[in-house]
Structure 1
Amino acid sequence: MNAPSTSPIWWEDAKKHLRSVDPILSKIIDSVEEPPLQGLGDVVITMCNAVVGQQISAIAADAIWSRLIHFLGGEFDSSKVLDSDEESLRNVGLSRMKIRTLKGICDSAELLRQIEWDSKNQNEIQSIMTEIWGVGPWTAEMAMIFSLHLPDILPLGDIGVIRSIEALEGKGEMNDSEILERAEIWKPYRTCAVWYLWRQHDDEPVLY
């Protein structure tokens, strides 16, 4: 299955649902300009881009990704990543651990692109992706959101999402159970809610 490269077909239904169940989130949706959720389309590229963005600022991640693409000749190429030596990739700004993870993803690129993702549930998808060294739940969730466009993903490991939900409640630190309870009304479109929680803080749309 080719991953979608356009906005999700369920996007408008999701916005309608969220507006109907959550007045606070409805105001956030109304305050954020389009475009809606979009992704890079390719599951391998999305996973690699997410790895680059782990535990660093969005500005730093964008800069490193841009340097990587320039180094690869202007477009992402899994085979070129595999052929690149560690020193060259380190000069782009990647850590050794991220280089190892990127190479692991690229080594599995053919398999990842052949999988019929729409025949699998979220747990199955995450299990497949996290078999690759260095790929954790958050990276898999970014792939499910931005490449596979699954409608009901809530990344509990995303600090920006968690802090935004805490702000909605106007309280301090919330545990996972409390976060899940607050997000229950957003089902089956938690991905859309997550997108708008990101967008309220970022002038530029998140893209993986």
Structure 2
Amino acid sequence: MVQTFDSSNFYSICDGLAAKDTHLATVIREYGYPPVWTRSNTFSTLVLTILEQQVSLASAFAAYKKLLEKLITITPEKILALSDEELRSCYFSRQKIVYVRGLAQSIVTNHINLEWLSEQPDELVRTTLKQLKGIGDWTVDIYLMHALQRLDLFPLGDLALINAMKMLMHLEKPTKEELLIIAEPWKPHRTIATMILWHYYIKRRTLSCCISCI
């Protein structure tokens, strides 16, 4: 059976992680619990996740908001009906036009079924989605974490996660292998540990911005 999190178990998992990791305990003590970051398991969620690849979240959301204003509801059929020029007017790059169209086509032809994916194990979700152009491990990790609420993801391709670990744990140039060793005790709840670290990263960046404005 697939294990997931929601608001009913999220905080107890946070407490359990804090009880066995002093760094995570420090984050919760100083900044409180992270938000329960979830998204709906929909085509529009995957579009947003693709837009978030290798850009700031603000830039990605600006493009998503522009698309939402144009379409009202973001569906595969509506995406396929848009021209390249219309998608570029919503701040889509050439590559992301290709990626989102490919995803839309796969859903329309039922090559990808999101409801079916929600019931499958993580690795099958990963191999299925990575067949699509432009969808790699980071995109799948974020989809599994936010849309399917899977418990044990550790997205090593996420810069915010890596930077949070470097700041919190005073690491200089950790290798992926070293980070995986650090995260090993967090299993099978590495998703929640990641969210605690994201929370720390956001709070520290916000604090730094406030201080720089004084």
Verify: 1:32 aligned to 2:31, yes or no: yes
Verify: 1:131 aligned to 2:140, yes or no: no
Given residue 78 of structure 1, which amino acid in structure 2 is its aligned partner?
Answer: P
Three-state SS of the structure 1 residue aligned to 2:201 is coil
Counterpart in the other structure of 1:83: 81
Q: CA deviation at 1:36?
A: 2.7
Counterpart in the other structure of 1:113: 114
Q: CA deviation at 1:199?
A: 1.6
Which segment drifts farther, 138-147 or 51-60?
A: 51-60
Counterpart in the other structure of 1:174: 174
Counterpart in the other structure of 2:47: 48
* 1:62–1:31 distance in 2 versus 1, CA, 3 Å: farther
Q: TM-score, normalised by structure 2?
A: 0.84
- Pairwise CA RMSD of aligned residues? 2.0
Counterpart in the other structure of 1:103: 101
CA deviations 1:21-43 (Å, max 9, x no partner) are 11111121233356632323124
Counterpart in the other structure of 2:67: 68
Counterpart in the other structure of 2:208: none
The answer to whether the 8 Å contact 1:10/1:151 transfers is no
Counterpart in the other structure of 1:161: 161
State the alpha-carbon separation in 2 of the partners of residues 100 and 138 from structure 1.
18
CA deviations 1:79-114 (Å, max 9, x no partner) are 101111111001110111101111111222353224
The answer to whether the 8 Å contact 2:10/2:192 transfers is yes
Q: Spell out the pairing of 1:16-27 with structure 2 (5 A cutoff).
A: 16-27=15-26
Instruction: Report runs of 4+ in structure 1 exceeding 6 Å deviation.
Output: none
Which segment drifts farther, 33-42 or 125-134?
A: 33-42
Q: TM-score, normalised by structure 1?
A: 0.86
* 1:104–1:9 distance in 2 versus 1, CA, 3 Å: farther
Aligned-residue sequence identity (percent) comes to 25
State the alpha-carbon separation in 1 of the partners of residues 164 and 34 from structure 2.
20
Q: CA deviation at 1:152?
A: 0.6
State the alpha-carbon separation in 2 of the partners of residues 138 and 9 from structure 1.
27
* 1:161–1:172 distance in 2 versus 1, CA, 3 Å: same
State the alpha-carbon separation in 2 of the partners of residues 32 and 9 from structure 1.
21
Three-state SS of the structure 1 residue aligned to 2:202 is coil
* 1:100–1:190 distance in 2 versus 1, CA, 3 Å: same
State the alpha-carbon separation in 1 of the partners of residues 123 and 114 from structure 2.
18
Verify: 1:14 aligned to 2:7, yes or no: no
Given residue 195 of structure 1, which amino acid in structure 2 is its aligned partner?
Answer: M
* 1:64–1:177 distance in 2 versus 1, CA, 3 Å: same
Verify: 1:152 aligned to 2:152, yes or no: yes
Instruction: Report the number of matched residues.
Output: 197
Counterpart in the other structure of 1:194: 194
Q: CA deviation at 1:62?
A: 1.5
Given residue 144 of structure 2, which amino acid in structure 1 is its aligned partner?
Answer: M
